[in-house]
Amino acid sequence: MLSVYLRGALCRAVSMLVPHHAPLGNWRHLDNTVHFQCWAHKALTGTGGLWGVAAFTSSPGSTEGASGRQRKDPQARSTVGSVGRRIHQRHLQVIGVSGEDLGTMHRADVIRLMDQEGLKLVPVNLSQEPPIYRLMTGKQIHEEQLKLREKQKNKAGPVLLKELTLFTDIGPHDLHTKLRQVQSWLERRHHVRVTLKKGSRQGTNSLDEELERIVQGLPEAFSFISKPQLIRDGKAAFCILRTASEKSSQQLRTTKKNSLNAGTSGSQPRDEDHPLEGQVTSPEQ
C-alpha cells in the first residue's frame, strides 16, 4: 500500500512541475513534455525500467536465463572416448581392462598405470562418489564406439517400405543385382515388398513357392512380415521382408556353420575307399 501512495504523490508532483499547456510555437518543449510524462508513467506503474526496458525479475514465469546454456547430463553420452590426462577428481573408482575392480585409486597412480601399460581412461559413471572410470585399450574403445553407433542406428524411427518387382524369366545376373539391392535396403532397416509376376517362361513351382526360393538366396538373415502368397488370381505373388533380429541372425550363422562342418566331415575319405599301404584289392570277378 505504501508504494501505491508514493506513486500517487509522485504523480501529483510531476503534474505540478510539468505544464499542461505548452506555449504556442514552442513545439519542441511540448514534445519533451510528452516524452517525460510517458517515461514517468512507465517508471511509476512498473511497466518499464528507468530506461524504458522491462524490469528485471526472477519470478517463475520470467524468461531469465532463457538464452543461457542448459547443463548437459554427464550420463547422456553419445560416444565413448578417453579423457586423456585431464582428470579433475582426486580419487577414482577404477575398472581394469578385463573388467576387474581395481578399487579406489589416486589420480596420480592412475596416470602412472596408464603410462606403464599404454592404456586410456574412459568415464563410466561420473555421478557416483567416487566416480567410476575404466581402463581400456584403443581397440576396445573403437569396438565400443562401433557398438554405440550401431545401437543409435537401430533406434526406432520412420520405417520406409521399398518395393521391387521381379519376373519369372529373370536372368541369374539380373537376379543377383536385385537381391543385392534388397539386401542394402534391409541393412538400412527398411521393409521390402517383393512382387513376382509371370514372365515368358515359368517353372513347375507355383509363384509363391518360386518367390520363397528366390528370397532365400539373400546372403543375410531376414524375417517375413508377410509370407509369400498369391494375388491377382494366381498371376502374381508377393511377400514383405524385414531385417532379422540379432537372435535370428545368430541362429542362421550357427546353422550355416554346422552345415559347413557337416559337409566337411562327410567328405573325409573312408578306409575302404583308400586301402592301406601294402594291402591288395582283389579284382572284380
Instruction: Tell whether the model's pLDDT for residue 273 goes beyond 60.
Output: no
Is residue 68 over pLDDT 50? no
What pLDDT sits at residue 202?
65
**71 contact partners, CB below 8 Å, separation of at least 6:** none
- The residue-averaged pLDDT of 69-84 equals 59
Taking the domains of the chain in order of start, what are their residue ranges? Answer: 8-19+31-52, 91-153, 161-247
Stated as kind and residue range, the H or E segment containing 258 is helix 246-266
Closest Cα to residue 206, out of 226, 230, 239?
230
What SS3 state is found at 131? coil
pLDDT tens-place string over residues 227-249: 999 999 888 999 999 988 766 66
Choose between 279 and 5: higher pLDDT.
Answer: 5
Mention the CATH class of domain 161-247: alpha beta
pLDDT in tens, 80-132: 777 777 888 889 999 988 889 888 999 899 888 888 888 888 888 888 888 99
Q: What is the dihedral of CA 272, 277, 282, 283, to 10 degrees?
A: 90
58 pLDDT above the threshold of 80? no
The whole-chain average pLDDT of the chain stands at 72
Instruction: Give residues with Cβ within 8 angstroms of 284, minimum separation 6.
Output: none
Residue type, 214: I
Cis, bond preceding 130 (omega within 30 deg of 0)? yes
Rounded percentage of the chain residues whose pLDDT exceeds 90: 21
Classify domain 91-153 by CATH number: 3.10.20.80
